[in-house]
Amino acid sequence: MTKANRLCIKVALLPTLTFVVSLLGFMALRAAGDTSPLPAGATQYVLSASLLVTFGAIVAANLLRVRLDH
């Protein structure tokens, strides 16, 4: 695996992992406070945000790969 490939993988994983860890932390804090893990009506926004972050990270990694190949 080349150095460029490792960089592209890091670019793809870093925003996704940050989003997942922060969301789980938020949900754990709310559950520890005896409330529901997500506010009412927030599920659709969490799902769309997770898709947006994941696709954005994949697009960014692929653009970086194209840039590094040339």
pLDDT at 4: 86
The pLDDT tens digits of the residues spanning 39-58 come to 999 999 999 999 999 999 99
Domain boundaries, the chain: 3-69
Continuous segment of H or E residues that includes residue 44: helix 43-69
Q: Whole-angstrom Cα distance, residue 21 to residue 40? A: 21
Q: Whole-angstrom Cα distance, residue 23 to residue 57? A: 17
**Between residues 65 and 70, which one has the greater pLDDT?**
65
Continuous segment of H or E residues that includes residue 19: helix 3-32
Question: Which residue shows structure tokens 């529901």?
Answer: 36
Q: Whole-angstrom Cα distance, residue 34 to residue 42? A: 17
Average pLDDT of the residues of the chain: 93
Q: Model-level pTM?
A: 0.83
